[in-house]
Structure 1
């Protein structure tokens, strides 16, 4: 499998990954494999900044809109789907472009990555604790046991907190210690897109999402089970709008919380990808971004 060439476009939210990926796909005869965990869900378009068919500009995209909002996502399942898509694209002589900001999903696809087992008893006890005390209590415990994992997992993400604490209890080691040393599966070049003005861009993006009808999008997904979806209901923007719709907060508070949460997520994304020395960082605001990246790819060919 190491003979398969993959270009991974990674980095924080709102930095310009999608635009770069479209340009690279046109220049290099590539196809995009989505690696944004929330763009897997049908109907979650505005809040995930999913490209429309027109915005994809004729570039084939894989692993968009494949699951209902009630489906609980797992990294292991995504790993299998993404590798199958990469292999299928490469078999047709096209360049696979793995694009998105979900760091763990990227690692799972690109590296020889096996997942720690599970224990139904431990899992049930942690889920009961989550239901009784809420995610903040679990996040506080994870901060004590594994500060690095706690930094990477949102304090509101009960599912991932349960999983991290389960692995710690089963293995007796920090959750981050259960992640393997990098062993590449593909011949991969990882390109990260970042820019210095992301705080402002995040607020502009969230305002645009609101203006385009994020609240109505969430309303339309309620009959399809969004509120019951363990993974989808926790997505940034969707979680906050759900709180507004059920009367937990005002719409203004939901907007502000989405901006704050997204900025916090940007910092986590940067931290995750900067720990990987193989990632090459680029300036998403540079006028010569595309030719510079194409030159770099040519040098690394």
Structure 2
């Protein structure tokens, strides 16, 4: 019986390397679950693994969107579930890797999405663009106080989606929340984390490396492809800060510092989100025998599941 493995957790903990190690050992294929890595051309700023470093292992859900397209959890759910099931049909092990929290839930949990309406979505996106997150948060607080209290007031895209759902369904946003239970396909969920000080140092080093490796040049190229017109891609951490730098909002050093701070803040959110999920089996990204430790957890989980079936 093939058991998919999901490798989740905060940014910069070492998920990609572990996923490759597991895929090599288990004759696996990798399914990306990082929302920004769905975009073609967004490579440096998303730490997308170059083809030459993928060890010949098939990767799915990378480079599937133009930067002018809007990434949606619902569309990802449909496409990624099809990828996982096709991989299993080939007799291979799906190794799902990434840290986009809602995308993880969409793929592994029972989550039916309310319909979307482009005109309603556009109305709230226009409010976000023209008047900012504070005004959107106020609108959400008036429409759905519970959603406003649970969604970060800086998370513009999620607030827009909540307002759209409330307007279309007449129900609170929480009514469309995923149902948490046994992960789809009996997947084993591994969480990778590190000590906070160590992780902060890795984030700072990674951020500096992105700017040194051509993030600004990448943004210049993407602007020519429509980056400024995209509703999702232009708000990605790193890309938003470089756009502000190019618009003379601040200098390059501050752009880099703001990218580091934004990434560190996002990491705290990821950690809080995934730590609430009791199904996640945690490993230390600094473990020199990380792959061995992870495989032992996978084996123990699948053995337990088989015993329960018996």
TM-score scaled to structure 1, two decimals? 0.91
Identify the residue that residue 179 of structure 1 maps to in structure 2.
Answer: 177
| Mapped partners of 2:103, 2:297: distance in 1 | 24
Q: Deviations over 1:75-121 (max 9, x none)?
A: 11111110111111111100001110011111111122101234566
* Aligned residues of 2:38 and 2:65 also touching (Cα < 8 A): yes
The within-5 A match list for 1:47-58 is 47-58=45-56
Identify the residue that residue 41 of structure 1 maps to in structure 2.
Answer: 39
The within-5 A match list for 1:143-292 is 145-146=146-147, 149-151=150-152, 155=154, 157-171=155-169, 174-183=172-181, 184-196=183-195, 197-292=198-293
* Aligned residues of 2:69 and 2:230 also touching (Cα < 8 A): yes
Deviation at 1:251, TM superposition (A): 1.1
| Mapped partners of 2:293, 2:64: distance in 1 | 34
Equivalent in 111, 114, 119 of residue 113 of structure 1: 111
The within-5 A match list for 1:43-82 is 43-82=41-80
Deviation at 1:20, TM superposition (A): 0.3
Identify the residue that residue 24 of structure 2 maps to in structure 1.
Answer: 26
Q: Deviations over 1:182-219 (max 9, x none)?
A: 24331110000000121111111000101111111111
TM-score scaled to structure 2, two decimals? 0.89
* Aligned residues of 2:190 and 2:281 also touching (Cα < 8 A): yes
| 3-state SS of paired residue (2:96) | strand
Q: 1:160 to 1:147 in 2, by over 3 A?
A: closer
Q: 1:45 to 1:282 in 2, by over 3 A?
A: same
Deviation at 1:287, TM superposition (A): 1.4
Unaligned runs of 5+ in 1: none
Deviation at 1:126, TM superposition (A): 2.6
| Mapped partners of 2:53, 2:260: distance in 1 | 24
Q: 1:35 to 1:230 in 2, by over 3 A?
A: same
RMSD (CA atoms): 2.0
Q: 1:140 to 1:210 in 2, by over 3 A?
A: farther
Q: 1:173 to 1:210 in 2, by over 3 A?
A: same
Deviation at 1:221, TM superposition (A): 1.1
Unaligned runs of 5+ in 2: 303-310
Q: 1:220 to 1:124 in 2, by over 3 A?
A: closer
| Mapped partners of 1:67, 1:85: distance in 2 | 16
Larger helix share, 1 or 2: 2
| Count of aligned pairs between the two proteins | 296
| 3-state SS of paired residue (2:105) | helix
Identify the residue that residue 308 of structure 2 maps to in structure 1.
Answer: none
Q: 1:84 to 1:249 in 2, by over 3 A?
A: same
